[in-house]
Amino acid sequence: MFRILVTSCLLLALSSCVLHPPYQQPCLEIPKKWRTPFEETSTAANFRWWEAFDDPILKKLIFESLENNKDLKLALARTAEFKARLGIVRSQFFPQISGVGLASRQRTPTELSGGKTSSGVSSQGQPGLTPVGTNLIPSPYTNNYRVVAEAAYELDLWGRVYSSSEAALADLLGQVQARRALVLSIVSSVATSYIQMRQFDQQLIVSKQTVTSRKESYELAKLRFEGGLTSELEVKQAAAEVDEAIAEVFRLEVLIPQQENLISILIGHSPREIERGLNINEWPTPLAVPAGLPSELLEQRPDIIQAEQGLIAANARIGEARAQYFPSISLTGYFGSESLQLHHLFTSPTRAWQYAANLLQPIFTGGKISSGIDVAKAQKRIAYYNYQQTVLNAFKEVDNALIAHQKSRELLEVQKNSVVVLKDYLHLAKLQYDNGQTDYLNVLDAERKLFTAQLNLAQAEADVFLTLVNVYKVLGGGWVIDAENLSKEKQECL
């Protein structure tokens, strides 16, 4: 009987109709190319780009973040939750079978049992009739023993379970993309923080060198003042320049630990000092940017894919809501043994079975079902516009990132040339000052401009790599899946 029941259920499930609208990917206005001319290749976005820095410490920090970051562990646990939820929904495709064992003893008041013909037990616990005087009356005690297998199945004639399953699957796939977006963000954040830390390190070196140089100039100005060769004004100006450089040192000594603490949190540790690798000016200059085609962005960015899965889920839930209008048909049954005596429980006369069909048709719900459909449709519109806005933001971010990277490379060359020119300017100003051809203000001006240019050069060197990291971040690509797999290898053992 159960074989027939299961087969019938599966055939009915396969023949069920689906009430949600067919899903269609929204029409989008996709630019044919980026405004900044770059090599159009998608393969460059599919490798571990951080390895191109040739910095073993950066590589180590990124691996540690993928292994230990607490947000990633949380995202992995959430993915497991959504996977389990999908399993719960899909279980409704199959009959629910359970075993039931029952042993009971019941006493019925004599007033109610009198005059009835029924089996019972004597006062000694044996089945039969209880003597009272010369009359026999039914015993008020009844035993019941039951061992059966019960089955229940709801026919998915209107596709409610199917729609719910599609929505749950889309939720799971959306959560997978949310986890990948988090991987993308964490890897990019580690690289960005490390680059900024090395930028501050370089600026600190420049600032300390400037402090030393300006202290020497200050001592020289004091000697010239004491020798009557210059005014006290030059001494005060030199002292002010020393203080300015010292203030920059203090500022950087605050910024560097902040970046170290940020990296520590990203790699899953308490605040600590971070090991250094190559200097920022030792990293190889990136040769190419993996711009790719704008249309490829729809398949590379986790946030875009996640938004589309949200739209798919919302579309499926319309069918789930519409199915509430139609009758719910359930098949139930049981098969086993039932007896008033335990030792007769498994003999043939005690075999018991039942099968039944239940139908539940909503007649009046006060607008609950129609309102539920309206909610589902509104949620689909929300998901639709969210998807469109996510795509537009992605195009904007990529275009901005490509332009920023291109201009940062151009600016770096300008800053390099500026430092060379200002070094010559300072050298000439000192020569003229020593020969009495100019005053000390020109020397101070040259020193100030060179110091600023050297700080800007370190910033420009960092910006080339910061904007490159941002390009990889906004493009997405296969490297995100690669990094995610590195993370899962360590975390799935939990």
Residue 33, pLDDT score? 64
User: In this structure, are strands 135-138 and 141-155 parallel, antiparallel, or unpaired?
Assistant: unpaired
Q: Which two tokens stand for residue 343?
A: 């030792």
Report the run of H or E that residue 430 belongs to, with start and end.
helix 368-434
Tens of pLDDT along the chain (494 residues) come to 445 544 555 455 445 566 778 888 887 776 666 666 555 444 445 668 888 889 999 999 999 999 999 999 999 999 999 999 999 999 999 999 998 888 888 888 866 655 544 444 444 444 555 555 445 566 778 888 888 889 999 888 888 999 999 999 999 999 999 999 999 999 999 999 999 999 999 999 999 999 999 998 889 888 888 888 778 888 898 899 999 999 999 999 999 999 999 999 999 999 999 999 999 888 987 756 666 666 677 788 899 999 999 999 999 999 999 998 999 889 999 888 887 877 777 776 878 888 898 988 999 889 999 999 999 999 999 999 999 999 999 999 988 998 999 999 999 999 999 999 999 999 999 898 888 888 888 888 899 999 999 999 999 999 999 999 999 899 887 777 777 776 665 554 44
**What is the reported pLDDT for 14?**
46
**Looking at residue 224, what is its pLDDT?**
83
Q: Which residues contact 352 (CB under 8 A, 6 or more apart)?
A: 146, 148, 334, 335, 336, 337, 338
Helix-helix angle 70-90:160-226, to 10 degrees:
170
* CB contact burial 156-167 (16+ within 10 A = b; e otherwise): bbbbbbbbbbbb
Task: Name the phi and psi angles at 363, rounded to 5.
Answer: -110, -50
Cβ-contact 222, 184 below 8 angstroms? no
What span, in angstroms and rounded, lies between the C-alpha atoms of 8 and 357? 13
* Separation between Cα atoms, residue 277 and residue 50, nearest integer Å: 13
The stretches of 24-156 forming alpha helices (DSSP H) are: 56-68, 70-90, 110-113
Distance, CA of 373 to CA of 376 (rounded, Å): 5
Closest C-alpha to 451, from 273, 244, 299: 244
Structure tokens belonging to residue 77 = 């646990």
For the whole model, what pTM was predicted? 0.81
Domains, in order of start, for the chain: 17-105+140-492 (1.20.1600.10)
Residue among 281, 263, 280 nearest 272 (CA)? 263
| Bridge partners, residue 148, by sequence | 100, 336
> Cα(55)–Cα(50) distance, rounded to whole angstroms?
8
The Cα 102–Cα 144 span in angstroms is 8
Residue by residue, DSSP assigns 371-400 as: HHHHHHHHHHHHHHHHHHHHHHHHHHHHHH
Helix locations, 276-301, DSSP H: 297-300
Whole-number Å distance between alpha carbons of 333 and 479? 53
* Whole-angstrom distance, CA of residue 477 vs CA of residue 373: 37
How high is the pLDDT of residue 489? Answer: 54
β-bridge partners, 131: 136
Rg (CA), the chain: 39
Joined tokens for residue 85: 């939820």
Residue 30's contacts (CB-CB under 8 Å, 6 or more residues apart) are: 294, 295, 298, 395
Quote the pLDDT of residue 28. 75
Both tokens assigned to 95: 């009959």
Q: Please state, in angstroms and rounded to a whole number, the distance separating the CA atoms of residues 51 and 136.
A: 96
pLDDT score recorded for residue 436: 80
**For the chain, first and last CA: distance in Å?**
43
